[in-house]
Amino acid sequence: MRFPVVIYGPEGCGKSAWLRQVAVVLKKQDFDVIYVDVAHKEYIAYTDVREVIDKISEVIADITGYTPIKLADLIILLANQLLKKWRKKRIALLIDEVFQAIGVDKAEVYVKMLLNIIEYPPADYEKIIAIVTTSEGVSRAKIGRHLWAWLMSMWNMSESGFRELYEKIPGPKLSSEDVWRFTGGNPRALSQLYRSGWSIDLVIKEIIISRNLHTFIHSLSESERYRLLEAIKDPDTLLQQERISLLNKLIELNTVVNGITYREHDL
Protein backbone atom coordinates (compact mmCIF):
# COMPACT_ATOMS: atom_id res chain seq x y z
CA MET A 1 0.00 0.00 0.00
CA ARG A 2 1.26 3.38 -0.95
CA PHE A 3 -1.14 5.44 1.18
CA PRO A 4 -3.06 5.01 4.40
CA VAL A 5 -6.66 4.12 3.60
CA VAL A 6 -9.41 6.14 5.21
CA ILE A 7 -12.79 4.46 5.12
CA TYR A 8 -15.95 6.46 5.52
CA GLY A 9 -19.28 4.89 6.19
CA PRO A 10 -22.55 5.68 7.94
CA GLU A 11 -22.85 4.86 11.62
CA GLY A 12 -23.60 1.21 12.24
CA CYS A 13 -22.86 0.10 8.68
CA GLY A 14 -20.30 -2.47 9.83
CA LYS A 15 -16.92 -0.68 9.77
CA SER A 16 -15.71 -2.04 13.10
CA ALA A 17 -16.95 -5.55 12.35
CA TRP A 18 -15.15 -5.43 9.02
CA LEU A 19 -11.93 -4.05 10.51
CA ARG A 20 -11.86 -6.83 13.09
CA GLN A 21 -12.16 -9.35 10.29
CA VAL A 22 -9.35 -7.62 8.44
CA ALA A 23 -7.21 -8.14 11.55
CA VAL A 24 -7.83 -11.90 11.44
CA VAL A 25 -7.22 -12.14 7.69
CA LEU A 26 -3.92 -10.26 7.93
CA LYS A 27 -2.78 -12.26 10.94
CA LYS A 28 -3.09 -15.37 8.79
CA GLN A 29 -0.86 -13.68 6.24
CA ASP A 30 1.93 -13.23 8.77
CA PHE A 31 1.32 -9.63 9.59
CA ASP A 32 1.92 -8.22 13.03
CA VAL A 33 -1.49 -6.63 13.52
CA ILE A 34 -2.57 -3.89 15.87
CA TYR A 35 -6.29 -3.08 15.93
CA VAL A 36 -7.43 -0.31 18.24
CA ASP A 37 -10.83 1.19 18.75
CA VAL A 38 -9.56 4.48 20.03
CA ALA A 39 -12.94 5.82 21.15
CA HIS A 40 -13.90 2.73 23.14
CA LYS A 41 -10.37 1.89 24.30
CA GLU A 42 -10.47 -1.63 22.95
CA TYR A 43 -7.69 -3.40 21.14
CA ILE A 44 -6.60 -6.62 19.48
CA ALA A 45 -2.91 -7.31 18.94
CA TYR A 46 -1.65 -10.23 16.91
CA THR A 47 2.07 -10.12 17.54
CA ASP A 48 4.72 -12.04 19.42
CA VAL A 49 6.17 -8.77 20.70
CA ARG A 50 5.02 -8.67 24.30
CA GLU A 51 6.01 -5.02 24.61
CA VAL A 52 3.31 -3.99 22.15
CA ILE A 53 0.57 -5.60 24.20
CA ASP A 54 1.98 -4.31 27.48
CA LYS A 55 2.24 -0.75 26.28
CA ILE A 56 -1.27 -0.66 24.85
CA SER A 57 -2.75 -2.13 28.02
CA GLU A 58 -0.77 0.33 30.08
CA VAL A 59 -2.11 3.34 28.19
CA ILE A 60 -5.67 2.02 28.31
CA ALA A 61 -5.43 1.41 32.06
CA ASP A 62 -3.93 4.83 32.72
CA ILE A 63 -6.72 7.22 33.62
CA THR A 64 -4.59 10.34 33.89
CA GLY A 65 -4.76 12.58 30.86
CA TYR A 66 -6.81 12.02 27.73
CA THR A 67 -6.36 8.37 26.76
CA PRO A 68 -7.49 8.50 23.09
CA ILE A 69 -4.74 10.92 22.10
CA LYS A 70 -2.13 8.91 23.98
CA LEU A 71 -3.40 5.75 22.35
CA ALA A 72 -3.37 7.24 18.87
CA ASP A 73 0.19 8.49 19.41
CA LEU A 74 1.25 5.15 20.81
CA ILE A 75 0.22 3.33 17.62
CA ILE A 76 2.63 5.48 15.61
CA LEU A 77 5.39 4.84 18.11
CA LEU A 78 4.75 1.09 18.17
CA ALA A 79 4.67 0.92 14.38
CA ASN A 80 8.11 2.50 14.26
CA GLN A 81 9.40 0.15 16.93
CA LEU A 82 8.00 -2.93 15.22
CA LEU A 83 9.95 -1.98 12.12
CA LYS A 84 13.15 -0.73 13.69
CA LYS A 85 13.64 -2.55 16.96
CA TRP A 86 11.85 -5.81 16.18
CA ARG A 87 12.72 -5.92 12.48
CA LYS A 88 9.18 -6.82 11.48
CA LYS A 89 8.58 -6.83 7.75
CA ARG A 90 4.79 -6.90 7.57
CA ILE A 91 2.76 -4.72 9.84
CA ALA A 92 -0.87 -3.68 9.85
CA LEU A 93 -2.27 -0.74 11.77
CA LEU A 94 -6.05 -0.83 11.96
CA ILE A 95 -7.41 2.22 13.69
CA ASP A 96 -11.10 2.49 14.41
CA GLU A 97 -12.95 5.76 15.05
CA VAL A 98 -9.80 7.72 15.68
CA PHE A 99 -10.99 11.14 14.50
CA GLN A 100 -14.01 11.11 16.73
CA ALA A 101 -11.76 10.42 19.68
CA ILE A 102 -8.80 12.71 18.99
CA GLY A 103 -10.84 15.47 17.37
CA VAL A 104 -11.60 16.11 13.73
CA ASP A 105 -9.13 19.00 13.76
CA LYS A 106 -6.30 16.51 14.28
CA ALA A 107 -7.45 14.13 11.53
CA GLU A 108 -5.15 15.56 8.87
CA VAL A 109 -2.04 15.46 11.02
CA TYR A 110 -2.76 11.93 12.10
CA VAL A 111 -3.17 10.67 8.55
CA LYS A 112 0.07 12.43 7.65
CA MET A 113 1.86 10.63 10.47
CA LEU A 114 0.65 7.30 9.08
CA LEU A 115 1.80 8.29 5.61
CA ASN A 116 5.21 9.15 7.02
CA ILE A 117 5.64 5.63 8.34
CA ILE A 118 4.96 4.30 4.84
CA GLU A 119 7.10 6.87 3.03
CA TYR A 120 9.96 7.27 5.47
CA PRO A 121 10.10 4.04 7.44
CA PRO A 122 12.78 3.71 10.10
CA ALA A 123 13.80 0.33 8.59
CA ASP A 124 13.23 -1.78 5.51
CA TYR A 125 9.88 -3.46 5.24
CA GLU A 126 7.87 -5.62 2.93
CA LYS A 127 4.34 -4.39 3.56
CA ILE A 128 2.66 -1.81 5.71
CA ILE A 129 -1.10 -1.57 5.82
CA ALA A 130 -2.71 1.35 7.60
CA ILE A 131 -6.48 1.63 7.68
CA VAL A 132 -8.52 4.22 9.52
CA THR A 133 -12.30 4.18 9.71
CA THR A 134 -14.63 7.01 10.51
CA SER A 135 -18.24 8.04 10.26
CA GLU A 136 -17.40 11.71 10.69
CA GLY A 137 -18.26 13.32 7.37
CA VAL A 138 -16.57 16.54 8.45
CA SER A 139 -13.15 14.89 8.62
CA ARG A 140 -13.54 13.71 5.03
CA ALA A 141 -13.18 17.18 3.58
CA LYS A 142 -10.19 17.91 5.81
CA ILE A 143 -8.32 14.82 4.68
CA GLY A 144 -9.53 15.05 1.12
CA ARG A 145 -7.76 18.33 0.48
CA HIS A 146 -4.38 16.62 0.79
CA LEU A 147 -2.91 13.75 -1.19
CA TRP A 148 -2.13 11.91 1.99
CA ALA A 149 -4.66 9.14 2.00
CA TRP A 150 -6.77 6.96 -0.18
CA LEU A 151 -10.37 7.78 0.67
CA MET A 152 -12.91 5.05 0.27
CA SER A 153 -16.59 4.84 1.05
CA MET A 154 -18.29 1.93 2.69
CA TRP A 155 -22.02 1.40 2.57
CA ASN A 156 -24.27 -0.94 4.51
CA MET A 157 -24.56 -4.70 3.97
CA SER A 158 -25.40 -6.23 0.63
CA GLU A 159 -28.99 -7.33 0.19
CA SER A 160 -28.18 -11.06 0.27
CA GLY A 161 -25.98 -10.76 3.37
CA PHE A 162 -28.52 -8.59 5.09
CA ARG A 163 -31.30 -11.05 4.32
CA GLU A 164 -29.22 -13.85 5.82
CA LEU A 165 -28.85 -11.85 9.02
CA TYR A 166 -32.58 -11.04 9.01
CA GLU A 167 -33.46 -14.74 8.66
CA LYS A 168 -31.49 -15.52 11.82
CA ILE A 169 -33.68 -13.29 13.95
CA PRO A 170 -36.29 -15.44 15.70
CA GLY A 171 -39.98 -14.74 16.20
CA PRO A 172 -42.54 -12.80 14.19
CA LYS A 173 -41.10 -9.83 12.39
CA LEU A 174 -41.70 -7.25 9.68
CA SER A 175 -41.39 -8.52 6.12
CA SER A 176 -37.84 -8.64 4.80
CA GLU A 177 -38.77 -6.14 2.06
CA ASP A 178 -39.94 -3.59 4.64
CA VAL A 179 -36.90 -4.12 6.83
CA TRP A 180 -34.57 -3.72 3.85
CA ARG A 181 -36.35 -0.55 2.78
CA PHE A 182 -36.36 1.03 6.25
CA THR A 183 -32.79 0.16 7.19
CA GLY A 184 -31.08 0.34 3.81
CA GLY A 185 -29.13 -2.73 4.91
CA ASN A 186 -27.69 -1.11 8.02
CA PRO A 187 -27.13 -3.89 10.57
CA ARG A 188 -27.34 -1.61 13.59
CA ALA A 189 -30.63 -0.19 12.37
CA LEU A 190 -31.84 -3.77 12.09
CA SER A 191 -30.94 -4.45 15.72
CA GLN A 192 -32.67 -1.19 16.74
CA LEU A 193 -35.83 -2.33 14.97
CA TYR A 194 -35.64 -5.72 16.63
CA ARG A 195 -35.12 -4.23 20.07
CA SER A 196 -38.09 -1.90 19.66
CA GLY A 197 -40.37 -4.82 18.80
CA TRP A 198 -40.33 -3.87 15.10
CA SER A 199 -41.88 -0.49 15.81
CA ILE A 200 -40.62 1.88 13.16
CA ASP A 201 -42.21 4.83 14.95
CA LEU A 202 -40.29 4.08 18.11
CA VAL A 203 -36.98 3.82 16.26
CA ILE A 204 -37.63 7.11 14.50
CA LYS A 205 -38.38 8.77 17.84
CA GLU A 206 -35.18 7.32 19.31
CA ILE A 207 -33.20 8.80 16.44
CA ILE A 208 -34.89 12.18 16.90
CA ILE A 209 -34.06 12.19 20.60
CA SER A 210 -30.50 10.91 20.36
CA ARG A 211 -29.49 13.36 17.64
CA ASN A 212 -31.54 16.18 19.06
CA LEU A 213 -33.20 16.62 15.68
CA HIS A 214 -36.15 18.41 17.19
CA THR A 215 -33.95 21.33 18.21
CA PHE A 216 -32.12 21.12 14.90
CA ILE A 217 -35.37 21.52 12.94
CA HIS A 218 -36.22 24.60 14.97
CA SER A 219 -32.84 26.10 14.17
CA LEU A 220 -33.70 26.05 10.46
CA SER A 221 -35.41 28.81 8.53
CA GLU A 222 -38.75 28.19 6.85
CA SER A 223 -37.13 27.74 3.43
CA GLU A 224 -34.51 25.38 4.84
CA ARG A 225 -37.23 23.25 6.38
CA TYR A 226 -38.97 23.06 3.05
CA ARG A 227 -35.69 22.08 1.36
CA LEU A 228 -35.08 19.45 4.00
CA LEU A 229 -38.48 17.96 3.28
CA GLU A 230 -37.56 17.77 -0.38
CA ALA A 231 -34.19 16.23 0.47
CA ILE A 232 -35.88 13.44 2.41
CA LYS A 233 -37.67 12.45 -0.79
CA ASP A 234 -34.62 13.01 -2.98
CA PRO A 235 -31.27 13.75 -1.29
CA ASP A 236 -29.74 14.88 -4.58
CA THR A 237 -31.88 18.03 -4.39
CA LEU A 238 -29.35 19.25 -1.79
CA LEU A 239 -26.79 19.70 -4.54
CA GLN A 240 -27.90 23.19 -5.47
CA GLN A 241 -26.05 26.36 -4.65
CA GLU A 242 -28.54 27.76 -2.17
CA ARG A 243 -28.86 24.39 -0.41
CA ILE A 244 -25.17 23.64 0.21
CA SER A 245 -25.20 25.25 3.66
CA LEU A 246 -28.08 22.95 4.63
CA LEU A 247 -26.16 20.00 3.16
CA ASN A 248 -23.14 20.91 5.28
CA LYS A 249 -25.27 21.06 8.42
CA LEU A 250 -26.60 17.58 7.67
CA ILE A 251 -23.08 16.25 7.09
CA GLU A 252 -22.05 17.69 10.43
CA LEU A 253 -24.98 15.89 12.04
CA ASN A 254 -23.87 12.65 10.35
CA THR A 255 -27.27 12.26 8.74
CA VAL A 256 -26.02 12.57 5.17
CA VAL A 257 -23.07 10.91 3.48
CA ASN A 258 -21.54 13.11 0.82
CA GLY A 259 -18.70 12.61 -1.62
CA ILE A 260 -19.96 9.64 -3.57
CA THR A 261 -20.04 11.78 -6.69
CA TYR A 262 -19.34 8.96 -9.10
CA ARG A 263 -21.17 5.70 -8.54
CA GLU A 264 -18.28 3.70 -9.93
CA HIS A 265 -17.02 0.47 -8.49
CA ASP A 266 -13.35 1.49 -8.49
CA LEU A 267 -14.13 4.59 -6.47
Ligand X SMILES: Nc1ncnc2c1ncn2[C@@H]1O[C@H](COP(=O)(O)OP(=O)(O)OP(=O)(O)O)[C@@H](O)[C@H]1O
Q: What is the CA radius of gyration of the chain?
A: 21
Closer Cβ to ligand X, 53 or 151, answer by number: 151
Residues 92-131 that bind ligand X (CB under 6 A): 97
Greatest CA separation for the chain: 62
Q: How many residues bind ligand X (CB under 6 A)?
A: 15
Q: Is 24 in the site for ligand X (CB under 6 A)?
A: no
Specify which residues 36 forms β-bridges with.
Answer: 43, 95
Closer Cβ to ligand X, 16 or 47, answer by number: 16
Closer Cβ to ligand X, 22 or 34, answer by number: 22
Q: Which of 4, 6, 8, 16 binds ligand X (CB under 6 A)?
A: 16
Asked if 166 and 182 count as a contact pair (C-beta separation under 8 A), the reply is no
Asked if 94 and 22 count as a contact pair (C-beta separation under 8 A), the reply is yes
Nearest to 155 by CA among 28, 8, 36: 8
Q: Which of 5, 165, 200, 256 binds ligand X (CB under 6 A)?
A: 165
x/- string (CB under 6 A) for ligand X, residues 139-158?
A: ------------------x-
Q: Is 4 in the site for ligand X (CB under 6 A)?
A: no
**What residue is closest to Mg ion based on CB?**
16
Closer Cβ to Mg ion, 133 or 255, answer by number: 133
Q: Long-range contacts: 29-32, Cβ < 8 Å, 24+?
A: 29/90, 30/90, 31/90, 31/91, 31/92, 31/127, 31/129, 32/82, 32/86, 32/88, 32/90, 32/91, 32/92
Which chain residues interact with ligand X by CB under 6 A? 9, 11-17, 97, 135, 157, 161, 165, 187-188
